Structure 1
């Protein structure tokens, strides 16, 4: 596919991620900025849920089911708002404001300054940090243009890094799980079924199994929008769109509601949002963890909405808008990958504790007894839900196979320096800003919950990377398959806002110093611009040119290249795969084994294969072929199995296996096919050979 066609696919993916959710959010009367950031989470929920419903009612998978469910959800939000108006506003006698926020209340919800400071809330309205008053050293809050410019900067830089990794639209990750991900997109297209509850691609003769297909559902719809069947390009379009749009929007929304950013720090955020090697570049190259990448990218916006709904900051979202949209966004996050809902809970726990403390410390006149009891009850309910999530939403223990990788000292060092999973001991320069932000939080006693959440993520990272295998480690991190890479990717969730808080404090100090030096009463635009430029000059080498980031990007790029010794498909094998549509009739199936890359014939060239993923449950016929294919001339059962599956060809990609593993023992029937009677070579490129099976004739 050309770069022009690829850009069209990226645009289609962005439209799918933004439009359904944007429509619903506006019907919920969310402000435009909030609606924009939360749109991907709501859109994901709508698309994934509509795929499930469409399969249940017998509809094919296309743009119609998401469109219909978008209308239903939009009407639902309107009904919720109407009921709230009838049942709440009519009784209180106060209509909501034009922006959707509730009108004046009979009981004030103010909190004493001491409680606010200790609870970690954002700066209160009227403070220099928020209003930009003419107080020396207090830069005015960023105008919309600053937000747009910084957000665009973050999107462009993140997209540029991802495109650097991809290299070309038709490159694909040479990693273990990508055999499944690319095949799943092809399977959804072929079967017109995107239901996460009904995928049978890898279950053999067993019933359908659950797998979170939100990533693949969006990719297939994007292909339908541009009338293409290029599975690799569609997957790569999502690899670009999710980090560059979903992640960046969510992070900037979180910074907005925290109320802790000034103009220089906002530009710094644009430079830093895509500068953490752990996310999004680690899940884009290791695994590959595309569903995890999707789910993590959705977390910041959902956390920001929870922060607003709880009333912890200046910008509050009314419950009538936050509740339906929040539930949809959380479902979207969970269906992207279930273990990301656990990450959301990790960040939510200290936030809920802050909210409860704030209510309990308020004066009796400001906080009625029923509100205190309700807050305690809601917190208790949330705790029970979190415990249930931790206990139930986890893979089988035999799937959590990863062991500890480093010692405790190095694990702590990697967490503090934001270099988890790196092979060498190093430091990410912007980790210094994370530490500065942590110090600012402690000194000012604002956003304490954020620092606590960062501490919890560091603790989980240490548990997964250095705790010995056993019940404790499995209880803590088994929900993430005991996999260090999945938790390494989560650290930037809290590290980024802490780093921006650090930048904001330094910028405020510099602006104040320059203002005092020039004997001015208030900061001027040239002073703010000078500080912004100074921060940018310092941060460019610390982000774009940081050795840790450059190494991560280079290693990730290597994993997307087709080389003579490719991990999944090498140059000889790829050349033969490209020829298969001309060599194999469209209605026939090719016998393959996924561990040596031959099953990529299905994903890449839409040639039907007997297997589509390395970890699969073979049907009875596939099992017979895997065990005895080379004896087909002497074994009638093999011929019956070949006939049942309409198999007349076999691909032999040799002994080299993905990740240098040892899966050949599960398919001895493919060994030394060149010596087996009844197997006629049809085409070959180097060691890769296509055989026509004549043993059963």
Structure 2
């Protein structure tokens, strides 16, 4: 707890970065509830960070708060100008709803506690495979002063340009000075993203989709605590930091798109909303492109509904034009979908059709412990949507269900990959999409149940109300099993920082600290990244041969990975060409046991004739190359 208290300034900085750059744009949106304005501010803020990361190298400005400030000022001026010229009176301004803020505040505090307890200590690094890349990528940005997604060449050092969505890493790098380390900054940013963005995103989408049900807006952030696979699942699988950021932004992008398509707007008001939507779309894309594609397909039912209404109200020419636009848009989406397919055929269907449908029905996808409350609440919400004939909402929800069924069950893998290959065929990433509409529908159901209970209480049916509340409490408590499982896995595997850690151990981290000042600044260190040795880069800024498991490091690097322990003349030639000065041996415990063999030569270094031990903490050993003359 003391460690987290010390990170309060870093958390406040992270929250400010998520809100302040886009706040004027959100405030300039006329006729919107406050929660929608906050959501817009978050969407624009991340769009600003993404734009600043792209523009900074062009301006010759190193990455930091300066390029963010430059883009922020431009956005503030543009939003203010459009607001000043928008003088059309509002016919029916949308009133705020205090319950929304209560729901967001409670969910914020709950998520802070849940994520904080799961991580344990802000200095605990993620022990999962992808953490190697994500932690080191933040250091790469700090070292190069370049956060552009076009210049993330850490694992392909022979290239000058390589695309990777770096918005997460750019954000974390700005928090590092306040947090004190890359690991702490990553964990603080994780808390900020989950605790702030996710509740606000769900509340804003619920507010716009069900404007006549303000009670649902209160419940939307709260029901998120019962959905297991996201966001906690993304911390226990991967770890999927960029996907986490992209996915929490999807409801915000949907929200802003819906309000941008609203009728009876002035030209300046519509332009502002479109620009806000474009900024949010840019942020989603630079967080992770798969999230932008997910948002696009989830918007298809709404856009088709709007296109149908426009065509019906217009003449022949309008209908032809609308049809052409729809066909062109769908064709473009298909082309982008095909080009964006990154299938690896590494993950395969794991569920039967009945199991997958049952997981959807109970909003407990991907084999999680089944909670008994969210599913029935979502069913009540669906009943209300059918009564209200808001078919596009059901259409959008059906799209997410379709993709989940394809990922979890569909047996023909070539067809399956054509649909879910943009998510690497990974059911966990696709399963998170169920939450985008499933949770707002559950919130709608919760508001209806609350109305029924209040009406029953007022009508004197006290016994029935008490009995129903007891049933709801028991059903709600059933979700605690999934939460307990997630937290146990976080504390016991994903963020366990002890001698039993599957990646980096305290002894190994202590060795990093000891050797930080012992080895020269121009040293180059080699070690098996699967043991955590590659994290020397993130912890100390000393260059390593393998900052990640995969990548293109050249033939000499592969030679050393396989044969360094042999100490042959061929090994020495590769060492001389690369400039390797030291080696780390962290033992034989690795991530993904027996999954990679190309690093076998980086184990058992104590018998190498060309290495001399220079430091040790426990079983973690640093060697110096001394036998290649």
TM-score, length basis structure 1: 0.82
Cα distance in 2 for residues equivalent to 1:261 and 1:159: 30
Q: Alpha carbons of 1:517 and 1:356: their partners in 2 closer, same or farther (altered >3 Å)?
A: farther
Aligned match for 2:142, one of 150, 164, 189: 189
**Aligned counterpart, 1:549:** 483
Name 2:181's counterpart in structure 1.
230
What residue in structure 2 maps to residue 604 of structure 1? 539
Rounded to whole Å, the distance in 1 between the matches of 2:264 and 2:491 is 41
Rounded Cα–Cα distance in structure 1 between residues aligned with 2:349 and 2:226: 26
> Would you say 1:615 and 2:547 are equivalent positions?
no
Displacement after TM superposition at 1:61 (Å): 0.8
Q: Do the aligned partners of residues 550 and 2 (structure 1) sit closer, same or farther apart at CA in structure 2, a change above 3 Å counting?
A: closer
Which shows bigger deviation, 682-691 or 15-24? Answer: 682-691
**Is the contact made by 1:451 and 1:498 (CA closer than 8 Å) also made in structure 2?**
no
Distance 1:427 1:284 in 2: 20
Shift in Å at residue 9 of structure 1?
A: 1.2
Asked if 1 retains the 8 angstrom alpha-carbon contact of 2:400 and 2:434, the reply is yes
Unaligned segments of structure 1, at least 5 residues: 90-94, 104-124, 132-140, 519-526
Q: Residue 411 of structure 2 aligns with which residue? A: 468
Aligned to 2:276: 325
> Which residue matches 2:209?
258
Give the Cα–Cα distance (whole angstroms) in 2 for the partners of residues 278 and 640 of structure 1.
49
Whether 1:411 and 2:332 are equivalent positions in the alignment is no
Q: Tell me, yes or no, if the aligned pair for 1:339 and 1:394 is still in contact at 8 Å.
A: no
Question: Residue 660 of structure 1 aligns with which residue?
Answer: 593
Indicate whether 1:401 and 2:335 are aligned: no
Conservation of the 8 A alpha-carbon contact between 2:216 and 2:443: yes
Cα separation, 1, equivalents of 2:154 and 2:245:
22
Q: Secondary structure at the match of 1:187?
A: helix
- Aligned counterpart in structure 2 of residue 166 of structure 1, from 114, 119, 126: 119
Displacement of 1:323: 0.9
Alignment partner of 1:68 out of 67, 70, 78: 70
User: Could you tell me whether the CA contact under 8 Å between 2:150 and 2:164 is conserved in 1?
Assistant: yes
What is the CA deviation profile of residues 357-381 of structure 1, one whole-angstrom value per residue up to 9, with x for unaligned ones?
A: 333455xxxx677665665454344
Aligned to 1:120: none
What is the CA–CA distance in structure 2 between the aligned matches of 1:622 and 1:177, rounded to whole Å? 20
Deviation by residue 1:631-659 (Cα, 9 ceiling, x = unmatched): 44x41x54454345443211012222202
Are 2:291 and 1:291 equivalent residues in the alignment? Answer: no
1:148 aligned to 2:149? no
Partner of 2:159: 206
Tell me if structure 2 keeps the 8 A contact 1:212–1:335: yes
Q: Which residue of 2 aligns with 1:595?
A: 530
Quote how far apart the aligned CAs of 1:583 are: 3.8
Residue 353 in 1 paired to residue 304 in 2?
yes
Partner residue in 1 for 2:335 = 388
Q: Distance in 1 between matches of 2:564 and 2:200?
A: 52
Deviations 1:46-69 (A, max 9, x none): 112211221233221111111111
User: What residue number does 1:429 align with?
Assistant: 373
Q: Secondary structure at the match of 2:575?
A: helix
CA displacement at 1:546 relative to structure 2: 2.4
Report the CA distance shift for 1:150/1:66 in structure 2 as closer, same or farther (over 3 A): same
CA contact (8 A) 1:20 1:39 kept: yes
Change (3 A) 1:212 1:543: farther
Helix, strand or coil at the partner of 2:380: helix
Number of residues paired by the alignment? Answer: 625
- Which residue of structure 2 aligns with residue 112 of structure 1? none
Structure 2: which 5+ residue stretches go unaligned? none
- The answer as to whether partners of 2:403 and 2:419 remain within 8 angstroms in 1 is yes
Contact 1:51 1:65 (C-alpha < 8 Å) held by counterparts: yes
Local SS of the residue matching 1:682: strand
Equivalent position of 1:278 in the other structure: 229
| Aligned residues of 1:24 and 1:70 also touching (Cα < 8 A) | no
